[in-house]
Structure 1
Amino acid sequence: MTVTSLATWPVDYPSDYAVVDVETTGLRSSDRIVSVAVEVLDRHGTVTDRWSTLVDPGRDPGPVHIHGLTAERLAGAPTFDRVAEDLAEYLTGRVLVAHNAPFDWQMLTSEYRRLGTAWPMERRLCTMALARHLELPVGDYRLATLAEHYRVRQLRAHDAVDDVRVLSEIFRYGLHEAAGAGLPLPLTAPGDEPGQRRAAVARGRNAERGTPAKAPCPWVNPGRLDLGVGLVQGMRVAFTGATERPREGLELRASEAGLYVTGSVSGRTSVLVTNHPRSGSGKNRRAAQAGTPVIDEATFVELVARVRPGTARVGVVPAPRGEGANGPVEVVVPERAEAVPAEVVAASDSARGTTAPAPDSPRAGARAAVRQVLVLQGRDEHLDGGRVRQLVLESGARLRINLTSTVDTVVVLPGAAADPRIARAEGFGAVCLTEAEWSASVSATPTAPATSGRPDTGHLPRGGTVELPGGANPGRWTLNASWAWDRPDEEIDIVAFLLDEHERVRGDADFVFWNQPATPLDLVVLDASGPAEQTVTLELDALPRDVRRVVIAAAVDGTSTFDAVGPIELDVAPFQGTAFRRSVLDAATVERVLLLGTFYRLGTGWKFRTEGQGYEFDLAGLAASFGVDIA
């Protein structure tokens, strides 16, 4: 069974990805990695390279019953400092893709920080967030569940090599679904040190338009440069320092000639190109330590014009993977903005035992019976938009705040008549209506209850409460807050306060925000899940008894107020689960701070309440009201 690739591709998608999985001695940043695997994917999700290794953690390997790596199996494996440079070659300049990406990101950054080495990545993408954005009809977002949904065979759970293989397949399907619907990817750029978040997010919002994709290198690395022989296809070339010609042009010439352009220097690097060999840069220092040949730009330009043929690698760039039992199946996707060569991306792999979803599977276009409605409004129609969204909720439809492929109805207010999302929605079959037309359609055909697809989790209104299952031990829960991807004039900060019986924090460590994104022991953790989405994860079972409530709020950074943001959707769910309850808060206008929701103890159990209370003062005022020392 095959899937035809898109004839066009969104221009603002990244050029390539590093799909990563790590197995560790535990779940804290102080724990160590025991194995790591990487698959490098090009911009369309095709695997171009692979790498993996076991790692000696220098301590007890931890949960052997999960990852199966005993101390005996790890004996003789390299320590992380011995593989860090090789791993960096596969990560540098790419987007890290992982399942529950904050965890893999945390473990890897901690390992590099111990070495005093710069972390080689700036952006990441979580496949759980991507599945949530695609509204996949699944019961939860666990890797095994997504593998079953996409019919990818999982051979050895919690084996880094097999997990990363499965995840690459899952991501490739999701990537094409998102591209076909014209969805922004949930990319985020978390800063590695306090105070870096805003600059990192700004970089993430300005996608690499026009950046050439790294060409897959199908040639064996012949080793270091010998000037008597010249450059050979497959050689690894690194650049550092200022160049007379545009760096992008030099890298493109190298890639087109069959060389592998790498962002770091290690013992496998064939040559370093620099006009300033004594600058003392990190790459120059590493080249000197590794004995890597160094040439200047002019020499490189001369050599790259006559690169010698290399030896073809076997099994790196996969050929089309064959057809399923029912013959080839094409998936037709709407055209997008940038033309790319037509190619066939296989959706099955007989060697791996995987098959793509059939056309009549849930992901092939089946919609739930509940209508999925997006309301588009002009900049000056905030109150009208809020009124119509309330009517949508009252009708029993599912209100959406972003355009995804599951939206089947778009209500267009007069000020949004030129919104480009209208054409995109019509492209994948949504019906676009005026408010009057939508009201007439509701009267004629009331929304039916959900009978298939995603379960109807229900809407929790402002002030509504719900008891969490599990009694005194509800486990790990998340609150995901998202808003329109193209609406905010300023950044939105999600924050959390752990409060005692007097409605005060016990100390400043109980204030979780972008510059302090976790409490001690990671009992409450804040993380960005996309450019307009943030998630708070709470270990409710482990919270101290004197923490009675956890209040989660949003604040507009800068001078804007919430009327410039529009509605905020809350998705409350067990960790890796689909929504238990959803809420949409849409009444704020001049407020700069908005209380979103509260997890609180009641008797021996836990409940959640949607808030919606707004204030005109800023985040510092809210923090002070809860007893945070903001001096």
Structure 2
Amino acid sequence: MTVTPLAHWPADYPSDYAVVDVETTGLRSSDRIVSVAVELLDRAGTVTDRWSTLVDPRRDPGPVHIHGLTPERLAGAPTFDRIADDLAEYLDGRVLVAHNAPFDWGMLASEYRRLDTPWPMRRRLCTMALARHLELPIGDYKLATLAAHYRVRQLRAHDAVDDARVLGEIFRYGLHEAAGAGLPLPLTVPDSGSGLRRAAAARKRLPERAAVAKAPCPWTNPGRLDLAVGLVQGMRVAFTGDAGNAREQMERQATEAGLYVATSVSGKTSVLVTNDPGSGSGKNRAAARLGTPVIDEATYVRLLARVLPGTAVDGAAVRLPAPRTESEPTSRGGAVAEVAPVAEAAPFQAVVPPSAPAPAVESVRPPIRPTVRQVLVLQGRDEHGEGGRVRQLVLESGARLRINLTSTVDTVVVLPGAAADPRIARAQAFGAVCLTEAQWHASLAESPAPALDRTGADTATAASEGAGAGNLPRGGTIRLPGGANPGRWTLNASWAWDRPDEDIDIVAFLLDEHERVRGDSDFVFWNQPVAPLDVVALDASGPAEQTVTLELDALPRDVRRVVIAASVDGTSTFAAVGPIEIDVAPFQTTSFVRSVLDAATVERVLLLGTFYRHGAGWKFRTEGQGYEFDLAGLAGSFGVEIA
């Protein structure tokens, strides 16, 4: 295939990523890390650095049959407190990328919490969520499946170093597919503190100084500062305390001079700049422990005026191979096939915003489009009723209704109020056709939707057979496979990326036979995201997507139902939010059943779905019932004590 440079790169994409994999003694937050590996990627997904280490957990290493790390192999490895500063230097200021990111994030955050040391990261991205957004033509979201899809060779599964390498390559492909489609990345801002901080972060209201982009330093690190020699390009410089000059300016000047601005002090740090070396800050303590040179601001400014040239780092650009499609051979050898560029759709009146220039990178081929039509309905702010009506017609036509624009959307129905929506131009750029409602109806008459496969089967038939049911209507039920032991399931809720500036909170209630919680710990929400024994967990940090994970096999017998709901924060209602898509699936697999709830207007809370015991097994029901009272009213109705 022909690989062509991207014309534009989304301006709001992050500039630096840290791809991370950890191996642990178990799956709970009380377990310990036995191995960690990091790959640093730049804005375009090119590897700029790597780091890894074994870690002595000071306990039994756990599932040796999985990670292969015996007590003998871990003997002599550093404990986490000895590697925490070095690791923080790689992580700080970057976006953590991981497969099932809440797990890696939680394990690392727990280790730093034990040391009473600030966790150095703010944002994360899960490659499972990215694969789901890209609608990849795969059967599940396991790392091995994604590796096979992108033709990335795995050498040692469950080895942190190899898993990080494989994941870095997978993420690079997904990053370019998302950029080519203009798709927002599923970035989340987790927070273990107060709900006020979580809400502020979601609204981007946290005061935050501008960070210097962590572009790879083109010079090798010459080591620690020698005052007799001075600063040399490639040195790693850290800052702490109140500086007389603006910190941002000092960091920017350091970068322009060829120095690397380190956000923590480690054995690789060349010098720490501070006007208060006795402050007792974490960087000062680390510098004292490691023997790192410390200078004041005035000395630093004087040295900065004559930085000596450094030794250049040799490096070569990485060329992206084509991801494998279902029609391509699995062999990695042979010539690269060429694919003709996608023809542009007919022009549609739209307003196209300016885009940031693309980095010098290459795009990958658009993914295979599914046989069932993928339809997005765009509406104006005052067209909620019309939008809901058209979306219902889309569902009835047998097409797959989409809530957000992805590269798999092939048809966009544009209502009059959305004629200037910038997503129209993006959809046309990767081959989607944009139609008015009248043109949509005409296209159905000319080319009826193809017969649906298993993912779009009739709901009643699928429910009776226990198969996946595609679109489950409001009030529809379906039996979960597995009988009394269905295993681990997820409910993912998503809504439009251009939603109003209010938070939407997903919550869960564990109810007994009397439709009441057994105690306040059975209420799972942003400030209490995990139920006892980790049987229900909430990842509630996304701007327009949140996920509930349920260990159905482990739920206590007196928990008969788990009700999942959504609540609008502030004064807004669900009329301003628009449709919410819920996607129910076994953990790490593609959708088992989907629903789109689009009837809410004045409601402030909305029941999404219920997992409930039925005979010897489990079922799921789509709810869609809304209420005008707030979340406190809903929680109180289930017996939660509201202070």
Q: What is the deviation of 1:306?
A: 2.9
Q: What is the deviation of 1:3?
A: 4.5
Paired residue for 1:436?
A: 438
Q: Distance in 1 between matches of 2:545 and 2:204?
A: 16
SS of 2:490 mapped into structure 1: strand
Higher relative contact order (CA 8 A, sep 6+): 1
Paired residue for 2:557?
A: 545
Assess if the C-alpha contact under 8 Å between 1:7 and 1:339 holds in 2: yes
Paired residue for 1:562?
A: 574
Q: Distance in 1 between matches of 2:169 and 2:249?
A: 32
- Within-5 A mapping of 1:318-357: 318-320=316-318, 325-327=334-336, 337-343=355-361
Q: Distance in 2 between matches of 1:313 and 1:422?
A: 43
**Which residue type is aligned with residue 447 of structure 2?**
T
Paired residue for 2:633?
A: 621
Q: What is the deviation of 1:288?
A: 3.1
Q: What is the deviation of 1:251?
A: 2.3
Q: What is the deviation of 1:444?
A: 1.7
Assess if the C-alpha contact under 8 Å between 2:507 and 2:566 holds in 1: yes
The reply to whether residue 605 of structure 1 matches residue 617 of structure 2 is yes
Tell which deviates more after alignment, 374-383 or 213-222.
Answer: 213-222
Q: What is the deviation of 1:543?
A: 0.6
SS of 1:49 mapped into structure 2: strand
Assess if the C-alpha contact under 8 Å between 1:124 and 1:189 holds in 2: yes
Q: Distance in 1 between matches of 2:169 and 2:452?
A: 30
Q: What is the deviation of 1:197?
A: 1.7
Q: Deviations over 1:96-122 (max 9, x none)?
A: 000000000010000000001000001
- Within-5 A mapping of 1:122-271: 122-195=122-195, 196-203=197-204, 212-271=212-271
SS of 1:481 mapped into structure 2: strand
Paired residue for 1:399?
A: 401
Q: Distance in 2 between matches of 1:318 and 1:63?
A: 39
Q: Deviations over 1:26-74 (max 9, x none)?
A: 0000000000000000111000000000000000000001000011111
Q: Which of 361, 367, 386 is matched with 1:384 structurally?
A: 386
**Which residue type is aligned with residue 135 of structure 2?**
E
Q: Which of 418, 421, 424 is matched with 1:419 structurally?
A: 421
Q: 1:322–1:40: structure 2 CA closer, same or farther, 3 Å change rule? A: closer
Assess if the C-alpha contact under 8 Å between 1:47 and 1:318 holds in 2: no
SS of 1:480 mapped into structure 2: strand
Paired residue for 2:606?
A: 594
Q: 1:474–1:255: structure 2 CA closer, same or farther, 3 Å change rule? A: same
Assess if the C-alpha contact under 8 Å between 2:18 and 2:39 holds in 1: yes
Q: Which runs of 5+ in 2 are unaligned?
A: 322-332, 345-351, 458-467
Assess if the C-alpha contact under 8 Å between 2:490 and 2:586 holds in 1: yes
Q: Deviations over 1:85-144 (max 9, x none)?
A: 000000000010000000000100000000010000011000000111111111000000
Assess if the C-alpha contact under 8 Å between 1:205 and 1:531 holds in 2: no
Q: Deviations over 1:268-324 (max 9, x none)?
A: 21111234444443323332333322233343334334322334456xx45435976
- Within-5 A mapping of 1:308-323: 308-313=308-313, 317-320=315-318
Paired residue for 1:107?
A: 107
Q: What is the deviation of 1:237?
A: 0.7
Paired residue for 1:409?
A: 411
Paired residue for 1:507?
A: 519
Q: What is the deviation of 1:452?
A: 11
Assess if the C-alpha contact under 8 Å between 1:366 and 1:453 holds in 2: no
Paired residue for 1:349?
A: none
Assess if the C-alpha contact under 8 Å between 1:126 and 1:529 holds in 2: no
- Within-5 A mapping of 1:14-25: 14-25=14-25
Q: Distance in 2 between matches of 1:418 and 1:123?
A: 32
Q: Distance in 1 between matches of 2:320 and 2:385?
A: 54
The reply to whether residue 92 of structure 1 matches residue 92 of structure 2 is yes
The reply to whether residue 116 of structure 1 matches residue 116 of structure 2 is yes
Q: Distance in 2 between matches of 1:454 and 1:134?
A: 19
Tell which deviates more after alignment, 598-607 or 237-246.
Answer: 237-246
Q: Distance in 2 between matches of 1:420 and 1:22?
A: 40
**Aligned residues with identical type, % of pairs:** 78
Q: 1:75–1:299: structure 2 CA closer, same or farther, 3 Å change rule? A: same
**Which residue type is aligned with residue 369 of structure 1?**
T
Q: Which runs of 5+ in 1 are unaligned?
A: 346-356
Assess if the C-alpha contact under 8 Å between 1:215 and 1:255 holds in 2: no
Q: 1:299–1:207: structure 2 CA closer, same or farther, 3 Å change rule? A: closer
Q: Distance in 1 between matches of 2:608 and 2:109?
A: 31
Q: Distance in 2 between matches of 1:157 and 1:486?
A: 39
**Which residue type is aligned with residue 137 of structure 1?**
P
Q: Deviations over 1:479-512 (max 9, x none)?
A: 0000001113311010000011111111111110
Paired residue for 1:353?
A: none
Assess if the C-alpha contact under 8 Å between 1:138 and 1:145 holds in 2: yes
Q: How many residues align?
A: 612
Paired residue for 1:491?
A: 503
**Which residue type is aligned with residue 587 of structure 1?**
A
Assess if the C-alpha contact under 8 Å between 2:243 and 2:274 holds in 1: yes
Q: 1:623–1:146: structure 2 CA closer, same or farther, 3 Å change rule? A: same
Assess if the C-alpha contact under 8 Å between 1:273 and 1:296 holds in 2: yes
Q: Distance in 1 between matches of 2:498 and 2:247?
A: 32
Q: Distance in 2 between matches of 1:20 and 1:143?
A: 13
Assess if the C-alpha contact under 8 Å between 1:215 and 1:256 holds in 2: no
**Which residue type is aligned with residue 219 of structure 2?**
W
The reply to whether residue 445 of structure 1 matches residue 447 of structure 2 is yes
SS of 2:51 mapped into structure 1: strand
Paired residue for 2:9?
A: 9
Paired residue for 1:524?
A: 536
Q: Which of 581, 587, 594 is matched with 1:575 structurally?
A: 587
Q: 1:114–1:386: structure 2 CA closer, same or farther, 3 Å change rule? A: same
Assess if the C-alpha contact under 8 Å between 1:34 and 1:55 holds in 2: yes
Assess if the C-alpha contact under 8 Å between 1:55 and 1:74 holds in 2: yes
Assess if the C-alpha contact under 8 Å between 1:489 and 1:565 holds in 2: no
Q: What is the deviation of 1:514?
A: 0.4
| CA RMSD of superposed structures (Å) | 2.5
Q: Distance in 2 between matches of 1:532 and 1:275?
A: 43
SS of 1:22 mapped into structure 2: strand
Q: Distance in 1 between matches of 2:622 and 2:413?
A: 26
Paired residue for 1:351?
A: none
SS of 1:26 mapped into structure 2: coil
Q: Distance in 1 between matches of 2:541 and 2:585?
A: 15
Q: Distance in 1 between matches of 2:495 and 2:393?
A: 19
Assess if the C-alpha contact under 8 Å between 1:320 and 1:344 holds in 2: no
Tell which deviates more after alignment, 262-271 or 64-73.
Answer: 262-271
**Which residue type is aligned with residue 53 of structure 2?**
T
SS of 1:470 mapped into structure 2: coil
Q: Deviations over 1:153-175 (max 9, x none)?
A: 01100000000000000000101
Q: Distance in 2 between matches of 1:453 and 1:146?
A: 20
Paired residue for 1:55?
A: 55
Assess if the C-alpha contact under 8 Å between 1:457 and 1:579 holds in 2: no
**Which residue type is aligned with residue 59 of structure 1?**
R
Q: Distance in 1 between matches of 2:134 and 2:50?
A: 27
Q: What is the deviation of 1:328?
A: 8.5
SS of 2:163 mapped into structure 1: helix
Q: What is the deviation of 1:604?
A: 0.4
Q: Distance in 1 between matches of 2:500 and 2:545?
A: 11
Q: Distance in 2 between matches of 1:206 and 1:274?
A: 23
SS of 1:601 mapped into structure 2: strand
Assess if the C-alpha contact under 8 Å between 2:235 and 2:269 holds in 1: yes
Paired residue for 2:329?
A: none
**Which residue type is aligned with residue 197 of structure 1?**
R
